[in-house]
Structure 1
Amino acid sequence: MVNEGAGMVRAWTVRGGQSGEREQAALSERLAIVGWEELGDLSDCSSSEDIGDLLAKAYPGEAVGTIDNWKRQLWRFIAMEIGDYVVMPRKHLSVVALGLLTGPYEYRAAAPPGFRHVRRMDWVRPALERAAVRGDLRDSMGAFLTVSELSRRDAAVRVQALAKTGTDPGYVGDGEPPNDPEDLVSDVRDSGTRQLTARDLIGLWEWKRRTSDVTDLVDQNLADLGLRVDPHFNDVQLDGLVTVSAAGSTGLREGIHDQVRGDEQQAHSKADGPRDRDLTWRIGNLPFVREVVTVRMGDALSQAITPMIESDFSQLPVVDHNDVLRGVVTWEGIARAQLGSRTATVANALDPHPETARVEHALFDRMGRIQQSGFTIIVDGENAVIGILTSTDLAGQLKQRIEPFILLEELERRLRRLIRHFSTDELPREIRRTMEGGQHLSLGQYIFLVEDAHCWNKLRWPFEQQDISRRLATVRDYRNDLAHWAVDAPAEDAAALAATGGLLKLLKLVDHDPAV
């Protein structure tokens, strides 16, 4: 019986082994089971430190950090309360098992190795479709740990709803990020994982944009803290969720037969450091529409036609009760259904093979198909619809990413023409040195030109000298930021982009193009 009135609802993930080897026994025997086969009875342990002492003796070759990771997982397993919810993701099936904890920790000495540490369970939903669990909660269940707590974004209440109704109510709003990197470490230590947005993650080090340098620094800081991020914070949109967990041993390699030794252990350790970045542009690097209008197979065709006319849609995804994609309705399909005098339902206008993509797919491999069909439906690993990307969206992104460079190029070329007004001797010394070396001036060097009293007077511009100097400094800094590789659109810095456009507009008043 769930102790709903006695305290806060809590939920946990207890995985069924690295290869799912404990899943069937857990379900058939109504148990939650963890491994660590060299470890004996933990019934007398009253703290994680007691478990740590036993682990250190049972696994003398393991690093201190690994022992610390394992003892916290085992303590979670022992400390879970009767009435808590437990989720066991199935390794090779598109389902999860979900149930209630009904008994205290037990050690079964007669059970096979790896099957001795158990808790009694009532698996109320032994085969709940993974697609019924919304993506953020599903990702938190996918952490690389045997035992972790599901504690953020109303996770426990949502697991409770899934157990009772089979439906995830989802989460609305933004979760509070950790206050600083130390709080992030503490959250991971206490729960096993911590979900936050890529924006909030880099914000822990006071960064706002994912440039190449920022990515390297955050990667290094995470490695120094012993943390890993899945997916990588460059592989999602800035407000997309990532899951942070402990790097190194995850608890899935339980038992001496699975441990990494010698050279392999050193290689594993290196892999836990900052990883080489994936420089491929992915579908997920672009913002796409996430509030997708959908219809169901049995819906009347009019339920598709109305929103398509009202919102000027060329298509509507067709989904099942879990938002799993079943096809798409287009105007062509609607015409075929109506001309064929078939029953006016969505099913009869269905194209069962629409263009789809996942966030991890390479963007440029998909662009031709998106342009040809006019859209691609974004699905997750369970083929549930999470968004849509149209050729119009691509055009808008192209403008956002190209406009700053076009404006900067024109601005620099117009500034370069200014030099023609001056003899070499009239130019400030810093500019002469660059020109004598056969190089183009940087944006920052034009500030010397504007701030030189003689040059400014000769320009005879109808502007405030200090104002133009300040504008040039702003645009210089913007240009320098753009020189670094970044996954975020440069147009996100709207103020700097506006400053660039404003300065260019002023220059056009004093730098006239030749008449055509």
Structure 2
Amino acid sequence: MIVEQHVDEDDPPSATDSAQDSPTSNEPNLESDEELHKRVEALLARAEGGSTEKVAVTDLLSFFGHKKLGRRIKVRVDEQLKARNITATPPFESADRWGEITLRSTDQWTPDQAQTVRLPVSALSDEDYDFASVLPNETITKARTLMIKYNFSQIPVIAPNRKELLGNITWQSIAGRMGQTESTEAKNWMVPGGYVAQSSDDLMDLVPHILKDEFIYYRDAHGFIVGIATASDLAASFRSATGIFLSLAEIEGRLRSLIYKLDVRDVINCLPEHARSSYKGVDDLSFSDYISILGAKNWKTLGLELDRSVCIESLREVAKVRNRLMHFRQTLSNDEDEPVVEHCLSWLRAVHPETD
């Protein structure tokens, strides 16, 4: 596995205390940085020349000097590919951190080569998450220490080649051997079994496995086991995904409650001409209608004592978030969306505590 040296503002150093705890500390070194750079450069040159090439996302990131797959890095790498007249499938912005992408010359790419963007199982793990494991001959004390340090309920026992799952140590398996001190090797404290997926496998297809076993592992494009997806991760992801939708629903409810206070004629006069004759009530309004209706006259009628320009701009930003989510341009909300929605809710709750 390549050890990248570059660090930038989107790629902070790992919080892992030592190389011994690092998820890559026992991985074999596949090639030097120089060898990787030459290989990827040759691959890119072939893609520019009209060939179809597959490359591991981690290798491409390393080639361009990055380790993480943050939002700004995605944009940066995409720009670097476009500068070389190369199109990635799936788009680099939605690439699986541990998977592969296909590269073609932009001149050779056609729309029918586009792939449906699915949510990979690796999306459940945070970019800064450290995947910890133990080797079969390492001690149960180390396994327990890592489990306590990272608040894990299980830790995998992996073969030295990092590609074979031997079993899992859980708090239950440890409790079952308490008092049996004849061996301290991790392999004697594990329970066999465990499901290993590819990092790019569709999360929705794997939900039954995750719920059944409470966790599964996944491999990167080189075959190394690099991550875990747990039932807790699934629940947290669900809360994250649904939370913003609930907040958007609250915003719309509060806006409707405000508009109910207006005379119906003042509402209709703010609508496009083609919509005025078919207007049946507040429930028929779109989000853009809400913004139009809260013009200067109606703002004053409602007695809203906050700065209208600031609040309207807040609503416009929420409309952008809402459109992205409703049109499936992203599967989960990003870190910038939630503050936009929550800031809007703050002033709406202040000016109008009740909803309809």
Q: Normalising by structure 1, what TM-score?
A: 0.50
- Choose the corresponding residue for 1:386, options 226, 229, 249: 226
Q: Is the 8 A contact 1:315 1:330 kept in 2?
A: yes
Cα drift, residue 297 of structure 1: 0.9
Superposed displacement of residue 247, structure 1: 8.8
Counterpart selection for 2:60 from 149, 173, 196: 196
Shift of 1:246: 5.2
Give the alignment partner of residue 323 of structure 1, picking from 151, 162, 166: 162
Query: Is the 8 Å Cα contact of residues 218 and 225 (structure 2) preserved in structure 1?
Result: yes
CA contact (8 A) 2:98 2:200 kept: no
After TM superposition, the structure 1 = structure 2 runs for residues 32-47 of structure 1, keeping only pairs within 5 Å, are none
Cα pair 1:337 1:343 within 8 Å, conserved: no
Please point out which of 100, 121, 125 is paired with 1:283: 121
User: 1:112-152 CA deviation, whole Å, 9 max, x = no partner?
Assistant: xxxxxxxxxxxxxxxxxxx8465xx7xxxxxxxxxxxxxxx
SS at match of 1:387: strand
RMSD, aligned CA: 4.1
Percent sequence identity is 21
> For residue 329 of structure 2, what is the amino acid of its counterpart?
A
Distance 1:383 1:360 in 2: 12
State whether residues 262 and 302 of structure 2, in contact with CA within 8 Å, keep that contact through their aligned partners in structure 1: no
Equivalent residues, number: 308
Which of 192, 195, 200 is the equivalent residue of 1:360?
200
Given the alignment, which residue of 311, 317, 340 partners 1:468? 311
- Asked if structure 2 preserves the Cα contact closer than 8 Å seen for 1:428 and 1:448, the reply is no
* Counterparts of 1:362 and 1:353, CA distance in 2: 21
The aligned residue for residue 247 of structure 2 is: 407
Distance apart, 1:353 and its partner CA: 0.7
CA distance in 1, matches of 2:94, 2:317: 30
Q: Partner of 1:441 in structure 2?
A: 285
1:159, 1:205 → 2: CA distance? 20
Q: 1:480, CA displacement in angstroms?
A: 1.9
User: Post-superposition shift, 1:312?
Assistant: 2.0
1:398 lines up with 2:238 in the alignment: yes
Q: Whole-Å Cα distance in 1 between the matches of residues 117 and 37 of structure 2?
A: 36
Matching of residue 506 in structure 1 with residue 336 in structure 2: no
SS in 2 for 1:333: helix
For 1:363 and 1:157, locate their aligned partners in 2 and report how far apart those are by CA, in whole Å: 30
What is the CA distance between 1:291 and its match in structure 2?
Answer: 2.2
- Of 273, 294, 309, the residue aligned with 1:450 is 294
Match of 2:33 among 149, 154, 163: 154
Structure 2 counterpart SS, 1:486: coil
Could you tell me which amino acid in structure 1 is paired with residue 159 of structure 2? D
The one-letter code of the counterpart of 1:236 is: A
Q: Deviations over 1:422-465 (max 9, x none)?
A: 22222362327546424722222222222232x11111112012
In the alignment, structure 1 segments of 5+ residues that lack a partner are 1-130, 138-152, 161-174, 179-183, 207-217, 249-268
CA apart distance, 1:482:
2.0
Deviates more, 1:280-289 or 1:503-512: 280-289
Provide the rounded CA distance (Å) in 2 between the counterparts of 1:231 and 1:432: 39
Output one character per residue of 1:245-273: Cα deviation in whole Å (capped at 9) or x when no partner.
5599xxxxxxxxxxxxxxxxxxxx9x965
User: Is 1:236 aligned with 2:116?
Assistant: no
Contact 1:294-1:316 at 8 Å conserved across structures: yes
Partner of 1:303: 142
- For the 8 Å contact 2:121–2:202, the answer to whether it is kept is yes
Aligned to 1:480: 323
State the alpha-carbon separation in 2 of the partners of residues 281 and 372 from structure 1. 20
Gaps of 5+ in 2: 1-26, 62-68
2:210 aligned counterpart, secondary structure: helix
Instruction: Decide which of 263, 277, 281 is 1:423's aligned counterpart.
Output: 263
Give the CA deviation at 1:157.
6.8
Structure 2 counterpart of 1:154, one-letter code = D
How far off its partner does 1:321 sit? 2.3
Cα offset, 1:336, TM superposition:
2.8
Which secondary structure state, in structure 1, belongs to the residue aligned with residue 347 of structure 2?
Answer: helix
In structure 2, do the counterparts of structure 1 residues 366 and 348 end up closer, same or farther at CA, with 3 Å as the change threshold?
same
Q: 1:358 to 1:235 in 2, by over 3 A?
A: farther
Amino acid at match of 2:120: R
Q: Which amino acid in structure 2 is aligned with residue 400 of structure 1?
A: S
Q: CA deviation at 1:371?
A: 3.2
